[in-house]
A and B are shown apart, each in its own frame.
Chain A
Amino acid sequence: MTAITTETDVPRTVESARSAGKFLFIAAIVLICAWVLVPIYLLLVNTLSSPSEVSGFPKTGIPSFDFGSIQFFLSFAGVLKALWNSLLVAVLTMILSIGIGAPAGYALSRFEFPGKEIFRMLVIMTRAFPLPLLALPLAVFFIRTGLDDTALGLAIVHTVLAIPFAVLITFSLFSGIPIELEEAAWTLGCNRLQAFRKVVLPLVLPGIAASAVFAFTISWNEVFAAAVLTIENRTLPAFLVQSLNVSPLHLKFAGGAAMVIPALIFIFAVRKYLFAMWGIANR
């Protein structure tokens, strides 16, 4: 008898342990999702409340859908210009980093040549350096060349931040296109440029767009160099960080939301490429 009960009991224990494990597993997922989402939710609550509610106490945690804070933020002197500057710098960064990085990524993926390793080292080395610090010496350099306090000047610093990613990501994208496809195009009457345009480009375009969005996000979020390099033409993060001491709470929260929401959209747009990009960018 005892033998039989143990035999039937053992699977039951495993079963219950398994379902308990499953419960824990799901609880962990819910907990982490809440950990990620609740703070963002709270920021949005503050954004969608009137200025007096934002500094009021206690808080309910439920938005009143009052657009007073947003109105205040948008009509605050310099905000719209800062938003526009952020956009401008980010678009310039996107164009520069893909325009400069993608050819390099293509060269690394398609050719074997002396000096390739040196270039790779140069790109990888950029990661060991705190890049926002570049703003310090470049501030002097930009004053001399007339790039100080311009969107292009800041975009150049942001491009240095984005270029290692652009090179490594496009390298992995191009490596994902079998060289046979290009060779087939050559045998079918294409020269190198035509084969690239007609075969490689259509295939990598979504990935290139994703890495462009990535470059955009890097620039959109960058604070230090933006704060150092711009005075009149502040970007949104630079504007916010400079006015932290003097601005009322509701301005801060609306500004924070203005930074967070585009970021959410960007991540959503490139979610498919996130892992492919990082997986190979780290090889």
Chain B
Amino acid sequence: MAEIVIKNVAKSFGSFQALHSIDLTIADQEFMVLLGASGCGKTTLLRIIAGLETPTQGEVWIGGRRVDKLPPRERGIAMVFQNYAVFPHLTVFENIAFGLRMKKLPQPEIDRRVNRTAELMHIEQLLKRYSGQLSGGQRQRVAVARALAMEPDVILMDEPLSNLDALLRLEMRAELKGVLAGSKTTTIYVTHDQVEAMSLADRISVMNGGKIVQAASPVEVYRNPAARFVGSFIGNPPMNFIPATRAANGQWQVAGVTLSGPAGPDKLDFAIRPEDLTVAPGGLKATARVIEPLGAHTLVTSDVDGRLFRAVLDSDITVAPGDELSLVPKPDRIRWFDPETSNAV
């Protein structure tokens, strides 16, 4: 059992507040992704959990044990680093065996674990090599194998795929998901790549400015962003936002069209994902500006009420720059945000 509980953790570097009072619970065997742009504090949070950084305040609990005063080696964690950190003076075998030797395991057990994890990561034939003789992808595999061989309660991963090229990243992503699902460890995975986050996570914590904005399942984060930031950060192209004014109780005026929405304050922001729009009469009046055929779909960037507005439309549509379109939002996909707090309503 390795539930991770983070209570009121904050961290500042000098006058810079990197993390503001974070509370987060990660269930045993859960795959949690910390997602955010660079500088949002996600790596700092991971390093605090690992014990590589001391929090300015707050507590970290792993498996019912308070660990925030313990050194990394006593926390029952293993970590995969962004630059792999494969020891250059040791062979692949000795790299994977490194932590096992520190635990003073008997040699047969070390051999068994190294061979098992090497097989799992498909690097059996590389065990005698040095890191200088490995490609980036192979180094990545060694780093993961080294972490898995520890049979830790928790695996922490800091942007492990960000240094690989696009194709390799895709391949490793699928493989990591399979291997980690089989290992029954709790995983915390830091990335700035939303596709990676969506495809790997049981739950995503979206971070911004040293705070967790939303922690929920990938579909929930995508469909029901808790804040405007989540909607605009996740999804490519991002969510569209248009200011709306109250027409009547529960009726809202959006770019000349009346839509039903929540009862509430005088002003709200109307939001819709680009793929939740169809061309039909009676919709939002849009002037097409840029047409980008993407194969399966066509991305139309248009102008609605003087604002940039994107729609992902069926690729058999014929539209040219300057054309007038009427875009109808799917009613159940419309979201509303309070412009004051930027939170979902």
Residues in A lying within 8 Å of B, measured CB to CB: 178, 180-181, 183-191, 194, 198-199, 202-203
Q: Which of B67-113 contact A (CB under 8 A)?
A: 71-73, 77-79, 81-83, 85, 87-89, 98-99, 102-103
Q: Which of B50, B79, B102 lies in contact with A194, CB distance below 8 A?
A: B102
Decide yes or no whether B52 CB sits under 8 A from chain A: yes
Q: Which residues of B contact A180 (CB under 8 A)?
A: 81-83, 85
Q: How far is the CB of B69 from chain A (nearest CB, A)?
A: 15
Q: Which of A190, A194, A202 lies in contact with B89, CB distance below 8 A?
A: A202
B72 touches A199 (CB 8 A): no
B73 touches A184 (CB 8 A): no
Assembly CA distance A58 to B77 (angstroms): 80
Q: Which residues of B contact A190 (CB under 8 A)?
A: 73, 102
Q: Which of B81, B99, B102 lies in contact with A183, CB distance below 8 A?
A: B81
B102 touches A189 (CB 8 A): yes
A183 touches B73 (CB 8 A): no
B83 touches A188 (CB 8 A): no
Assembly CA distance A178 to B89 (angstroms): 13
Assembly CA distance A181 to B85 (angstroms): 5
B52 touches A186 (CB 8 A): yes
B81 touches A189 (CB 8 A): no
A188 touches B89 (CB 8 A): no
Assembly CA distance A188 to B50 (angstroms): 11
Q: Which of A178, A186, A188 lies in contact with B150, CB distance below 8 A?
A: A188
Q: Which of A178, A181, A188, A202 lies in contact with B99, CB distance below 8 A?
A: A188
Q: Which of B72, B87, B89, B103 lies in contact with A186, CB distance below 8 A?
A: B72
A178 touches B102 (CB 8 A): no
Q: Which residues of A contact B79 (CB under 8 A)?
A: 183-184, 187
Decide yes or no whether B273 CB sits under 8 A from chain A: no
Q: Known: A180-B81, A202-B89. Contact between A191 and B52, CB under 8 A?
A: no
Assembly CA distance A203 to B73 (angstroms): 22
A185 touches B98 (CB 8 A): yes
The size bracket of the interface on B is 20 to 34
Q: Which of A183, A191, A194, A202 lies in contact with B85, CB distance below 8 A?
A: A183
B71 touches A186 (CB 8 A): yes
Which 5 A/B pairs are nearest by Cβ-Cβ distance? A189-B102, A188-B99, A184-B85, A180-B85, A186-B72
Q: Which of B50, B71, B78, B83 lies in contact with A191, CB distance below 8 A?
A: B71
Q: How far is the CB of B16 from chain A (nearest CB, A)?
A: 13
Assembly CA distance A178 to B102 (angstroms): 21
Assembly CA distance A181 to B79 (angstroms): 11
Q: Known: A183-B52, A202-B89, A203-B88. Contact between A189 and B83, CB under 8 A?
A: no
A187 touches B78 (CB 8 A): yes
Assembly CA distance A203 to B146 (angstroms): 20
Could you write out 30 A-B pairs with CB less than 8 Å apart? A178-B83, A180-B81, A180-B85, A181-B85, A181-B88, A183-B52, A183-B79, A183-B81, A183-B85, A184-B87, A184-B146, A185-B87, A186-B51, A186-B52, A186-B71, A186-B73, A187-B50, A187-B72, A187-B156, A188-B73, A188-B78, A188-B98, A188-B99, A188-B150, A190-B102, A191-B73, A198-B98, A199-B89, A202-B89, A203-B89
Q: Which residues of B contact A181 (CB under 8 A)?
A: 85, 87-88
Q: Which residues of B contact A189 (CB under 8 A)?
A: 73, 99, 102-103
Residue of A nearest to B88 (CB): A203
Q: How far is the CB of B119 from chain A (nearest CB, A)?
A: 20
Assembly CA distance A22 to B150 (angstroms): 60
Q: How far is the CB of B80 from chain A (nearest CB, A)?
A: 9
Q: How far is the CB of B269 from chain A (nearest CB, A)?
A: 42
Kindly list 13 other residue pairs between chains A and B, CB separation below 8 angstroms, not including A181-B88, A186-B73.
A180-B85, A183-B81, A184-B81, A184-B146, A186-B71, A186-B72, A187-B50, A187-B72, A187-B99, A187-B156, A188-B150, A190-B73, A191-B73
Q: Which residues of A contact B50 (CB under 8 A)?
A: 183, 187
Q: How far is the CB of B343 from chain A (nearest CB, A)?
A: 37
Tell me which of A178, A184, A199 has the highest count of chain B C-beta atoms within 10 A of its own C-beta. A184
Q: How far is the CB of B174 from chain A (nearest CB, A)?
A: 25
Assembly CA distance A203 to B85 (angstroms): 13
Q: Which residues of B contact A183 (CB under 8 A)?
A: 50, 52, 72, 79, 81, 85
Assembly CA distance A191 to B74 (angstroms): 10
Assembly CA distance A266 to B65 (angstroms): 55
Assembly CA distance A194 to B88 (angstroms): 17
Assembly CA distance A188 to B110 (angstroms): 14
Residue of B nearest to A180 (CB): B85
Tell me which of B72, B83, B98, B103 has the highest count of chain A C-beta atoms within 10 A of its own C-beta. B72
Q: How far is the CB of B33 from chain A (nearest CB, A)?
A: 20
Assembly CA distance A198 to B73 (angstroms): 15
Assembly CA distance A184 to B83 (angstroms): 11
Q: Which residues of A contact B150 (CB under 8 A)?
A: 188
Q: How far is the CB of A207 from chain B (nearest CB, A)?
A: 13
Q: Which of B122-164 contact A (CB under 8 A)?
A: 146, 150, 156
